[in-house]
Structure 1
Amino acid sequence: MANERLRAAMAAGGWTYNAFAGKVEVDPKSVERWVNLGRTPRRATAMLAAETLGEDVHALWPSLRQARPARAVSPELVALYDQRADIPVSTFVDMLTQAREQIDVLVYAAVFLHEAYPRLNELLKERVAEGCAVRIAVGDADSPNVQQRGDEEKFGHGIQSRCRLALMHYRPLIGVPGIEVRTHPTTLYNSIYRADDQALVNAHVWGVNAYSAPVWHLRRNGEGGMFDTYANSFGAVWATATPVREK
């Protein structure tokens, strides 16, 4: 069955098969098959063709509305935990201990790390001594987003107090070469604990404390995957954060 919508759009724009094929980087015979036989191009090519014609891609090729099949399990997903409280602190510590190049921590407070593992600062110093770069971003206690989070979790000023406590825990690291601590004012959608190509991502759920929310353990598997999504998210927040200076 011919694709009359495509034929009309090309005619309206004065496109020949050859000219349009050159624009979307395919063979003219492919364009001819799209029009006369109703063939559907690959999604990326269809998107370019629709953009060139100023048309909606799904209007030209309705079959592209069909959802892509989902993977049962992402190749980057190592483990999924129902809640953070299910994870032994040793899991966090072991992951950080294995880091050789980069450690990134994005939280509002996460004081559980220092409380359960008092050697955390020493561990981070050991990592930078071995050439690892460490970036820590904790919540700005005066940020409206932090205050709102406390209200939503019915934790009141507790979350603000914990942000200040977290900063107190990390303050001895201020000025240590290779370690940078910043405060951020952002809405925290996920807490991120990254060590090289591994990350523990604590999802946040409205009205639920972080320790009761799910965590997924990711291991990077090529570019553009879930790991990179969260790594890029950390970078975006880091760019908005304020360095903590020595007193």
Structure 2
Amino acid sequence: MRNERLREAIRASGLAITELGGAVGVNGKTAQRWVYEGRTPRRKTADRVSRRLGVPVDWLWPAITGPDTGPDNQPRDFVRLYAHRAEAPRQLWHELMRGAKSSIDILCVTGLFLVEDNPSVDDLLARKAEDGVPIRLAMAHPTSPALRRRATEQQLIGALAARARAAISYFEPLTAIPGAQLRTHNLTAYSSIFRFDDDLLLNHHLFGVQNFLCPLLHLRRETEGGLFDLVTDAFDRFWIAAMPADPE
């Protein structure tokens, strides 16, 4: 039985099947067997394929088990899924942010809900930055085509740009503290990412659905090269593409 998921992931990467084999240390015929005969590679090889294609290993091979999956075949990095972001307790956000000691990374459209749910969030972030915790905030630029398109899809024309400007104005003073950075992006954010050390909240985005109604995934880093690392690597790529904050 063909592995259509693997085939599509290879196609999306721009590689030929045989090229993928060479990239992960096997011959081209072996890679072809994965696709056309549905064979499953060894775990370490599967992990290399996952990293090369940027796709979770358990999505490519759902039956695979190994060091980054638990006995129920769930990724070890998985903590909990909330059907809607609004279902996650406010205290969860506060405790994760308050407990961060090595990194706080936030990628979102505006992030104003953080302020609306906890008006003292700027003070908390300021204290963290003063304590030496690196903070990276990446938010949508108010005039970006991606934001305008998103506003149209969510029927928030005008309102979303205003919220983006308000968010930048609110969080920009943090950058006066060494180690706190704020950037804006013109890219499509497929998810919002909130990382606090080895805990991460991933808010999926759905077409025509406001973010507070979209699912929220809580991850905790338990394995190297697992789902947690996949998300943080995506954040790093986004961060490189973002630019210093400019609300205009």
| Sequence identity percentage | 29
Counterpart in 1 of 2:33?
A: 58
Mapped contact 2:100–2:133 kept (Cα < 8 A): yes
1:154-188: CA deviation from partner (whole Å, max 9, x where unpaired): 11121111111111110221221110011111101
133 and 48 in structure 1: CA distance in 2 versus 1, 3 angstrom threshold: closer
Q: CA RMSD in A?
A: 2.5
| 2:220 match | 219
Structure 1's consecutive aligned runs of 4 or more residues displaced over 3 angstroms after TM superposition are 47-50, 65-68
Distance 2:100 2:240 in 1: 22
For 2:101, the equivalent position in structure 1 comes to: 100
How many residues align structurally? Answer: 200
Normalising by structure 2, report the TM-score.
0.74
**8 Å CA contact retained: 1:200, 1:217:** yes
Q: Which runs of 5+ in 2 are unaligned?
A: 1-20, 42-60, 65-71
In 1, the alpha carbon distance for the partners of 2:129 and 2:191 equals 25
C-alpha separation in 2, matches of 1:153 and 1:61: 41
Q: TM (normalized to structure 1)?
A: 0.74
Give 1:90 deviation, angstroms: 1.9
Matching of residues 1-247 of structure 1 within 5 Å: 48=25, 50-51=27-28, 57-58=32-33, 62=37, 64=39, 67-69=61-63, 72-244=73-245
Structure index of larger Rg: 1
Q: Is the 8 A contact 1:139 1:185 kept in 2?
A: yes
Tell me the secondary structure at the aligned position of residue 64 of structure 1. Answer: coil
Distance change (3 Å), C-alpha of 1:172 and 1:72: same
Distance apart, 1:83 and its partner CA: 0.2
TM-fit CA distance, 1:65: 6.9
Q: Structure 1 residues 50, 88: closer, same or farther in 2, change over 3 A?
A: same
Output one character per residue of 1:2-44: Cα deviation in whole Å (capped at 9) or x when no partner. xxxxxxxxxxxxxxxxxxxxxxxxxxxxxxxxxxxxxxxxxx8
Structure 1 unaligned segments of length 5 or more: list them: 1-43
Alpha-carbon distance in 2 for matches of 1:133, 1:165: 23
Q: Which amino acid aligns with 2:226?
A: G
Structure 2 residue matching 1:174: 3-state secondary structure:
helix
Q: Does the aligned pair in 1 maintain the 2:141–2:246 contact within 8 Å?
A: no
